[in-house]
A and B are shown apart, each in its own frame.
Chain A
Amino acid sequence: MKAFKVLYNQNKLYSEITTEASYTDQRNELSLRAVLNGSEKYKIGKRTVTVFPGNFLILNEGTSYDRTIYSDSIANTFAIFFSKKFLRDFQYGFSSSDRNLLDEPIDNEIIQRTTFLETIYPCKGDIKYNLSHLIDHFNENSDDLLLDDYIYHALLLFYRLYYREVLNKSNHLDALNAGTRDELFKRLSLAKDFMLSNYNQDISLEDISRHSCLSPTHLFRTFKQIYNCSPHQYLIQTRLDNARHMLKSTNYTLNEIVNLVGFTCPSTFIKLFKNKFHFTPGTYRNHVA
Chain B
Amino acid sequence: MMSSEFINGIPFYLNEPKMALDFLVEKLGFVVHGHPVSKNLDGVMVCDSYGNFYKIFSVTQKNVNNKNDFNLVINTTDCLHDFYNMGTAGLSILDKPHYVREGLAFEILDPWGNKYTFLEKRDYTE
Contact = CB atoms under 8 A, between A and B. Distances in A.
Interface of A: 124-126, 129-130, 133, 137, 143, 145-146, 149-150, 153
Contacts, number: 26
B122 A126 contact: yes
Contacts of B81: 133, 137, 146
B83 A149 contact: yes
Given A126-B104, A153-B97, A145 B80 contact: no
B78 interface: yes
Contacts of A124: 126
A150 B80 contact: yes
Given A133-B78, A153-B97, A125 B84 contact: no
A145 B97 CA distance: 15
Given A126-B99, A126-B104, A153 B126 contact: no
Interface string B64-82: 0000000000000010110
A145 B78 CA distance: 15
Interface in B103-126: 103-104, 120, 122, 124, 126
A160 to B, nearest CB: 9
Query: What secondary structure prevails in chain B residues at the interface with A?
Result: mixed
Most buried by B among A129, A146, A150: A129
Contact of B84 (A126, A129, A130, A146): A146
26 contacts: A124-B126, A125-B122, A125-B124, A126-B99, A126-B104, A126-B122, A129-B103, A129-B104, A129-B120, A129-B122, A130-B80, A133-B78, A133-B80, A133-B81, A137-B81, A143-B84, A145-B84, A146-B80, A146-B81, A146-B84, A149-B80, A149-B83, A149-B84, A150-B80, A153-B80, A153-B97
Nearest to A134: B80
Nearest to B85: A146
Contacts of A133: 78, 80-81
Given A129-B103, A137-B81, A146-B80, 10 more contacts: A124-B126, A125-B122, A126-B104, A130-B80, A143-B84, A146-B81, A149-B80, A150-B80, A153-B80, A153-B97
A150 B104 CA distance: 12
B98 to A, nearest CB: 10
A51 B97 CA distance: 30
Contacts of A130: 80
A97 B51 CA distance: 43
A137 B85 CA distance: 13
Counting from the closest, the 4 A-B pairs by CB-CB distance are A146-B84, A149-B80, A125-B124, A133-B78
Contacts of B83: 149
A173 B69 CA distance: 50
Contacts of A149: 80, 83-84
A150 B78 CA distance: 11
A126 B121 CA distance: 10
Contacts of B97: 153
